[in-house]
Structure 1
């Protein structure tokens, strides 16, 4: 493992040397951003496959509406029937998670690289690199301790928090619109599949049952992008750069890949 970390550290150093004429003292930070973009390019085919899978799931909505009608009073049977339908149609409900899962090794590699004081018995020279005044191995609490929130180091995090907040707000608004449209479309599909549903004893129209826990998940999902703020504050600055770059990339990527979907492209979770 130490030899692998040494090789990766050498790669980052070499890339930083190539970028030094353009970015000077922040060349290593630029190298991390470039590395993140390269990782995202590698997993982009998985993102495209996830979007295709989402389209296939949307096509199943009328059949799912029929299942909701059939298993109206049995949520367990409904969940089993929906899973069976996905299996028959070879549609994976988890395909959208694959890009994030495949990025995890790259993120943890950066995290450990900039959390170690030494690599292979040698001092970790990467910890001496900075973004502005903030060291890449430092954390938000360290920056605040050296000059406060609006000090030279703290301002680096202020800018990063502003970028994350802007991206999270964009994701939140888009997710709320998509979920509202998705709910309306699902209700319309259920009504079309069962137009003669009688009101319940209270006089209200009977609503199709949801899968267990889906209501709470639907309410929580749009807020997940804001969790990135806590991640950026906790991890070393180098790993935080990866998170911010990847999250911004993911937001733009999803907006493009899901642009022609009137509903169903769920909230963009924070992407590593």
Structure 2
């Protein structure tokens, strides 16, 4: 790993191990699990302003959707003119076609850190203490926990599937009446991609995915109201 990436990994490692040590007397063997959940909640709490901005952007985009369709029909044969008109409309409305992606993009560094911390046996020049944590008997650093002979993977995957179901319902409700059949199908299916993610990352990263997607569903529900 390049040296400039070692500093954030080492910093995250020391923060997480300190939190695990503080939680150990209260939570015992589940200290690492609780620490991952708490760190994820802190990250999402810090990203609330971005989520609010993204939600406003989605509403603004929904409001201009009829105008976007009209511009598309009017300038179908002139892509350059269409691009200019769409850019002008977005500028006037204060939104973009990428509205709603800010919280997801901002989380990528944290997901990468969680993935990296539980994939390495040595971090910051010392033995990685985090991978000794476990959930229902499965080590937090193991991939494909279903092969570990414990129900950990099935429990996490089932919870992620439940959250994905709520997320799919929420996304479909947010679509306007002009949404295409393809858009509605994608809105129903894409949230279930998190189950595949959980299957291919360490169990610790799966816990991060579960916690952050549950937060997203709750946050969007509150913001919509």
TM-score between both structures, scaled by the size of structure 1: 0.73
8 A Cα contact 2:146 2:152, kept in partner = no
Task: Say yes or no: does 1:236 pair with 2:202.
Answer: yes
Shift of 1:35: 0.3
Q: Tell me which residue corresponds to 2:185.
A: 219
Q: Tell me which residue corresponds to 2:173.
A: 177
Aligned residues: 220
Q: Distance in 1 between matches of 2:13 and 2:202?
A: 15
Any idea what SS the aligned residue of 1:139 has? coil
Shift of 1:87: 2.2
Any idea what SS the aligned residue of 2:101 has? helix
Residue in structure 1 matching 2:44, options 27, 40, 45: 40
Q: Distance in 1 between matches of 2:208 and 2:157?
A: 13
Q: Tell me which residue corresponds to 1:74.
A: 77
Residue in structure 2 matching 1:134, options 111, 131, 138: 138
Q: Tell me which residue corresponds to 2:154.
A: 158
8 A Cα contact 1:26 1:132, kept in partner = no
Q: Tell me which residue corresponds to 1:211.
A: none
Shift of 1:122: 1.8
Alpha-carbon RMSD: 2.3
Task: Say yes or no: does 1:249 pair with 2:215.
Answer: yes
Answer with 1 or 2: which has the greater Rg. Answer: 1
Any idea what SS the aligned residue of 2:94 has? coil
Unaligned 5+ segments in structure 2 are none
Any idea what SS the aligned residue of 2:35 has? helix
Q: How does 1:111-130 map to 2 (within 5 A)?
A: 111-130=115-134
Deviates more, 1:127-136 or 1:82-91: 82-91
Shift of 1:222: 2.5
Shift of 1:220: 1.9
Q: Distance in 2 between matches of 1:37 and 1:237?
A: 17
Shift of 1:61: 3.8
Q: Distance in 2 between matches of 1:13 and 1:252?
A: 28
Q: Tell me which residue corresponds to 1:199.
A: none
Q: Which has the higher helix share?
A: 2
Q: Distance in 2 between matches of 1:4 and 1:131?
A: 26
Q: Tell me which residue corresponds to 1:98.
A: 102
Shift of 1:4: 3.7
Shift of 1:13: 1.1
Superposed CA deviations along residues 10-67 of structure 1, whole A, max 9, x for unmatched, are 2111111222233210101100100000000111100001111122223324533543
Q: Tell me which residue corresponds to 1:267.
A: none
Any idea what SS the aligned residue of 1:81 has? helix
1:57–1:133 CA distance, 2 compared to 1 (3 A): same
Residue in structure 2 matching 1:168, options 164, 167, 175: 164
TM-score between both structures, scaled by the size of structure 2: 0.87
